[in-house]
Amino acid sequence: MGALRRIATIAHHTFKESVRERVLYNLIVFALLLMGAAILFGSISVGIEQVILVNLGLSSISVFGVLMAIFIGIGLVSKEIERRTLYNILSKPVSRPEFLLGKYCGLLLTLVINTAIMTGGFYLALLYQKRHLEFADLLALEAVYFILLQLALVVGLALLFSCISTPILSAVFTFSVYVIGNFLGDIRWFGQETHSPGVEKLTGVLYYLLPNFSNFNVITRVAHGLAIPGYLLWSNTLYALLYVSILLSGAILIFEEREFR
Amino acid sequence: MSIGSERRRARFAVWGLLLVSVGGVYTVQQARDRHTARLGEMSEVLYIPSGRVLRYLSLGQEGLMADLYWTRVVQYFGRKRLAQAVRFDLLGPLLSIATELDPHLLVAYRYGAVFLAEKLPDGAGQPEAALQLLRRGIVANPDEWRMWVDLGFIYYWDLKDYASAVRVFRAGSERPGAKMWVRTLTASVAAKGGELETSRLLWSEIYRNADNDQIRHSAQEHLVALTAQEEISGLNDVLDAYARQFGQRARSLSDLLGAGYLRVVPQDPSGVAYVVGADGRTRLAPESKVDLKLLQ
């Protein structure tokens, strides 16, 4: 119970610190503006006004969520080292794993609240366009849930990299893995097409080793009002939980070995 | 227990969690792949480089990119129409990209096919490209009956290929959710294309399955017209045989009766006798209630 309380305290402070970041508000405002623009954009197209709004709205939530996760996530550990506040924290009865888990949960909470705000903006835009909301519109919430799972992975990656590298490099690494993670299926297919056992094996290993972000991409489906199969809900949830466990375990093992001077 | 051994145990636990999670991720991903057969979908898309490159650039937001490309199609086509252009070179490629990025973007297939098929200067005058676009749309959305109808209309209006139109309309009418009018349309097009047997078959089916009296009545009228059309065709054959035998055309059906070609003067389905017109061909009498225009 003591450990949980300590993690919660660090998470609470991380959340408070995160909401003070100016970049966060810039990104939220920009995302909400983009959703508003979707209404205008839809009006100059034919037949897909709502599809555009859903695509642009959910994509904004996803892209800006990832940017927030990276920009704030990479500073989680490095800022504490830079400001030397880490020494104060670790000199108290707080273990390093508790510190990392608290940081992770704090940023995740920030992202959940930001995503909720952006989702609210998205539904307001939808309401403005359709003049009413219906039960089928709730389908977008499933896509939002998958975006949150994706963000949980991105925060984990940013935290892992921030334990081993500088903030700038951590941002580059995290973003690169995010991009590669969107094309893992293609990478594996490419390996199979080369008909080279070595390349095929390598791409196969990469396919399972790196986080598969394309698993969570259901925005296009939702934009067309197509239901999300039940197995996606459980498999994606389980996948995200397991992968976050890997990232946090890795971060803890590295952070435990790290020496601070 | 010392702090050192406690830390060691914690580290073992973290390692254990890490290894279990790695195994779990592998298992879940495999289970997921079995469901989605993702690699199969991927290879289809990768055959076309332009769509592939854009999909890479979209960073997983291919739906949004497809919307952008469809909007570009609309803007491009609108500008060209206003300028009375005679070339629409980018129309086909833009539509391909939009539909490759989002294979479920039905409007892109349906409106796009109209843009492509319309004759110049109202459209690009490329009905074959429209057929290809719609065929791709049908492969990606096989249960969308409207796309079959759109495809049929390209054959019907633009290519005047009634046999293909009937085949496609008929396939569309059998898709789930297809409206009854698709069947009536199929039957009408079959009659217009001279496929009277097919038309009769379809109208009979419509008559049997009609869910309201209006459609049933319409089907009956079409069946009556088809019967009359077939009888007129048969009588014309007899008139030709008469002309061959006697060296001149019969002036009335009584001539055929006298020559032994007929036993009675035939009547149309409304009970009025057929007549021979000034051109020597069989016609409906003016007082006949049969409407042959239904078959045109």
Tell me if residue B269 falls in helix, strand or coil. Answer: coil
B75 CB neighbours in chain A (<8 A) are 44
Nearest CA in chain B to A226: B104
Q: Is the dihedral of CA B44, B50, B53, B58 positive or negative?
A: negative
* pTM for this model (two decimals): 0.67
* Structure token digits, residue B64: 């949004």
| β-pair partners for B282 | B276
Residues of A within 8 A of B26 (CB-CB) are: 208
CA B284 to chain centroid, in Å, comes to 35
Residues A132-156, mean pLDDT to the nearest whole number: 93
**Which residue type is seen at B134?**
L
pLDDT computed for residue B48 by the predictor: 39
| A45 chain-B contacts, CB cut-off 8 A | 67, 70-71, 74
Return the half-sphere exposure (C-beta side, CA atoms, 13 A cut-off) of residue B64: 24
Element (H, E) at A19: helix A2-19
Element spanning A40, H or E: helix A22-43
pLDDT digits (tens, 9 = 90+) for A98-127: 999 999 999 999 999 999 999 998 998 888
How far is Cα A20 from Cα A214, in angstroms, rounded to an integer?
32
* For A41, nearest residue in chain B (alpha carbons): B71
- Which of residues B38 and B195 earns the better pLDDT score? B195
Chain A nearest-CA residue for B73: A45
Taking the C-alpha atoms of residue B79 and residue B88, their distance in angstroms, rounded to an integer, is 10
The pLDDT tens digits of the residues spanning A33-45 come to: 877 777 777 777 7
At A1 the pLDDT is 56
The helix (run of H) or strand (run of E) holding residue A78 is helix A75-82
Contact B10 A44 (CB under 8 A): no
Burial (CB count within 10 angstroms: exposed 0-12, middle 13-18, buried 19+), residue B143: exposed
* Average of per-residue pLDDT across B121-145: 91
Residue of B nearest to A62 (CA): B61
**pLDDT digits 0-9 by tens, B136-165:** 999 999 889 999 989 998 898 788 888 898
Q: Tell me which of A189 and B20 has the higher pLDDT.
A: B20
Query: pLDDT digits over B167-183, tens only?
Result: 998 999 888 888 888 88
* Alpha helices in chain B, H assignment, sequence order: 3-36, 38-46, 49-57, 62-82, 91-101, 106-117, 127-140, 145-153, 162-173, 180-192, 196-209, 213-246, 253-258
Nearest residue, CB atoms, B21 vs list A46, A229, A246: A246
CA dihedral A79, A85, A87, A88 (to 10 degrees): -160
Q: Give me the helix-helix angle, B38-46 and B3-36, nearest 10°.
A: 60
* DSSP class per residue in A42-75: HHTSSS-HHHHHHHHHHHHHHHHHHHHHHHHHTH
**Residue of A179, A235, A249 lying closest to B21 (CB–CB):** A249
At B195, is the pLDDT very low, low, confident or very high (cuts 50, 70, 90)?
A: confident
pLDDT band at B37 (very low <50, low <70, confident <90, very high): low
**Are B152 and B172 contacting, i.e. CB atoms less than 8 angstroms apart?**
yes
Confidence band of A260 (pLDDT split at 50, 70, 90): low
Predicted confidence (pLDDT) at residue A156 exceeds the cutoff of 90: yes
**What are the tokens at B79?**
């500008």
- What pLDDT score was predicted for residue B49? 45
CB contact B74 to A (< 8 Å): yes
Residue B194 has pLDDT above 80, yes or no: no
- pLDDT of the residue at B42: 37
Spatial contact of A213 and B60, defined as CB atoms under 8 Å apart:
yes
Among residues B195, B185, B105, the alpha carbon closest in space to that of B149 is found at B185
Q: Residue B166 in contact with residue B190, Cβ under 8 Å? A: yes
SS3 B275: strand
- Reported as a pLDDT band with limits 50, 70 and 90, residue B44 is very low
* Residue B254 pLDDT exceeds 90: no
Which of A240, A91, A220, A21 has its CA nearest to residue A151? Answer: A240
**Residues forming a β-bridge with B283:** B275
Rounded-to-integer distance, Cα A105 and Cα A107, Å:
6
Q: Read off the pLDDT of each residue in B40-69 and give the average, rounded to a whole number.
A: 64
Whole-number pLDDT of residue A207: 92
3-state secondary structure of B262: coil
CA distance B11 to A145: 32
Number of other residues whose CB lies within 10 A of the CB of residue B69: 25
Q: Which residues contact A6 (CB under 8 A, 6 or more apart)?
A: A93, A94, A98, A102
Give the highest mean pLDDT range of A161-165, A228-232, B121-125, B129-133. Answer: B129-133
Does B39 score more than 50 pLDDT? no
pLDDT at B75: 81
What tens digit of pLDDT does each residue of A44-83 get? 777 777 888 888 889 889 998 999 999 888 888 888 887 7
Residue B279, φ and ψ in degrees, nearest 5: -85, 5
Q: B3 is written with which tokens?
A: 């702090």
- A147 has a pLDDT exceeding 90: yes
Chain B stretch 5-24, residues whose beta carbon is closer than 8 A to a beta carbon of chain A: 7, 10-11, 14-15, 17-18, 20-22, 24
CA distance A41 to chain B (A): 9
How far apart, in whole angstroms, are the C-alpha atoms of residue B206 and residue B186?
Answer: 11
Mutate to test the interface with A, among B6, B25, B115 (most CBs of A within 10 A): B25
